[in-house]
Amino acid sequence: MRSRRPLSVNNSLVHGICNCNCLTCGVNKASYRGPREYQPREVTERLISRVEEAAAAGIRVRYIANSGDGEPTLHPEFRRRMDLFGAMLRNWSASVPAPEVSVVTNGQRLLSPGVLDAVAGNRLTLIVSFPTTVAADYGQLMFCRPERGVVTLETVKAGIRRAMELRAVGSIPRLCFHLSPPERELLRRGFPATMQFLTSEAARAGLGEVELVLFPATSNRSGLIRSRGSSVDFYPDLFRAFNGRAVNGVRLNMSISYRRFFPEVWEVLDLVRSFSLPCMWNAHLFITAGGDSICCNDQAVRAPRGNVLTDSIASLMVRKEAHLPGAVCAACDQRPDRMRGGLAVTVFSLLARARLTLAMMRARAGEAPTGEPIPADAKENAHAQENLVLDVTALRIAARLGNQPAAFLPRRNGSLSGEPVALLPVGGTGRKSRLGVADSE
């Protein structure tokens, strides 16, 4: 495993079974041919033990989301499965920090017996997907049927009110709202009204802030659906108008979903250096109900890459790092070399293309011209040279963007190291300058 950044795990406690038919999801569409199953206890227990084993080896899993490709609260043993994660957190003894564990729900079952008790009783983060308060738009986004919005929306609102009350007294440690499904036009149209509802209910419950996460890109789920957006949108208009502002006396704290998984610039660069195909959607572990490790966009589980029942966290990541585009990637509109957007997206896409090109060249050169296998030391040296090229490119880009991500950079031989190198001072603000890098040996 070459990655040095903290990892995240999306656990599909329920796969292919959902009480919604979201506009941007392939599950419940006519084209879906994937599994429909609840996660067996054996898989949940094994996933937890894999996370603990990884922590003992110094590999940090920062975040576990019980979400996936289905509604997790539909699991018939939902409370008992959350108890397993709660026990893991209470008994955590590793030197690395314990992961944050969350439940990501569409909110329709928040008031069902035991659901909020399971979240609060195990000190889990609660995340509610809540795109809008415009009833017809809500119905369109969540069911592809505008007429379904009125009744369902009122059910979800009642659950949110109760969740806010529990958050206000500290029973739920963290409450967050995903503005998802992220259909941009509908989300923007209802955004002011949505903020009015959330902040007024937060004020009534005694909360001083509301945490919101927006999703900058939608995917076609590797061909299962038609994508609703052709480029990355970071919602600059909404951030300017609302982020950090107080509405109804409640502060709005907004962030982009990428920041949860890559809070630091160096973590994005670590992805580029570690993966043959540095894809944001495939950068972390996505575990299906059956334990398979898949890409986040492979909802139909067409190309599993190992299974948590038989493979460690490190070995599952090694498979992801070595992955080159196949049939699933061919149909995906969010491959990193196809991404379109502003400066940051363009920079990442260029780095990803460079990394993929190097990986493809190395794959084609798997044998020497004589037909003999390339010696191991020669392969390692070639890999080190790839790292060095990418490091220099990444450092120069980071310097222009005003960042100095030193925490993961290589030693002189280009091999991965957790030890930082020293960065020499860069020139003053407002003028071009060269980035000096001092060797750490």
Q: SS3 of 165, please?
A: helix
CA distance 112 to 19: 13
CA distance 341 to 117: 42
Residue 233's pLDDT is 86
Q: Which of 279, 306, 281 is nearest to 291 (CA)?
A: 306
CA distance 71 to 320: 25
Q: Could you tell me which residues come within 8 angstroms of residue 434 by beta carbon, excluding any fewer than 6 positions away?
A: 399, 426, 427
Q: Which of 414, 412, 398, 401 is nearest to 440 (CA)?
A: 412
Tokens 């996933």: give the residue.
47
pTM listed for this prediction: 0.83
Q: Which of 11, 6, 102 is nearest to 62 (CA)?
A: 6
Residue 188's pLDDT is 95
Strands 437-438 and 422-423 turn out to be antiparallel
CA distance 156 to 170: 21
Residue 415's pLDDT is 34
Q: Could you tell me which residues come within 8 angstroms of residue 413 by beta carbon, excluding any fewer than 6 positions away?
A: 384
pLDDT tens sequence for the chain (441 residues): 999 999 999 999 999 999 999 988 888 888 888 999 999 999 999 999 999 999 999 999 999 999 989 999 999 999 999 999 999 999 999 999 999 999 999 999 999 999 999 999 999 999 999 999 999 999 999 999 999 999 999 999 999 999 999 999 999 999 999 998 888 899 999 999 999 999 999 999 999 999 999 988 766 665 555 665 557 888 999 999 999 999 999 999 999 998 889 999 999 999 999 999 998 889 999 999 999 999 988 888 989 999 999 999 999 999 999 998 888 888 787 788 778 888 888 888 888 888 888 888 888 776 433 343 444 544 454 555 455 555 555 555 555 544 444 333 333 333 333 333 333 333 333 333 332 222 222
CA distance 162 to 177: 14
CA distance 290 to 38: 8
Would you state the structure tokens that stand for residue 392, as one six-digit string?
């220099």
Phi/psi at 140 (nearest 5 deg)? -65, -45
Q: How many helices (H) and strands (E) does the chain have?
A: 13, 14
Q: SS3 of 50, please?
A: helix
Residue 396's pLDDT is 55
What is the DSSP annotation of 413-427?
T----SSPPEEPPPP
Give the orientation angle of helix 376-400 with respect to helix 343-364, to 10 degrees.
170
Q: Could you tell me which residues come within 8 angstroms of residue 80 by beta carbon, excluding any fewer than 6 positions away?
A: 41
Residue 416's pLDDT is 34
| Strand order across the 293-294 sheet | 246-247, 250-256, 209-214, 174-179, 125-129, 100-105, 61-66, 7-11, 285-287, 293-294
Strands 293-294 and 422-423 turn out to be unpaired
CA distance 326 to 320: 12
Whether omega before 410 lies within 30 degrees of 0, making that bond cis, reads: no
H-type helices in 69-114, by residue range? 78-90
Q: SS3 of 163, please?
A: helix
Taking a C-beta distance cutoff of 8 angstroms, is the pair 166, 120 a contact?
Answer: yes
Taking a C-beta distance cutoff of 8 angstroms, is the pair 214, 254 a contact?
Answer: yes
Q: Tell me the domains of the chain and their CATH numbers.
A: 7-325 (3.20.20), 336-438 (no CATH)
What is the DSSP annotation of 256-292?
EHHHHH--SHHHHHHHHHH-SS--GGGSSEEE-TT-B
CA distance 407 to 411: 12
**DSSP 8-state secondary structure symbol assigned to residue 380:** H
Q: How many CB atoms lie within 10 A of CB 134?
A: 20
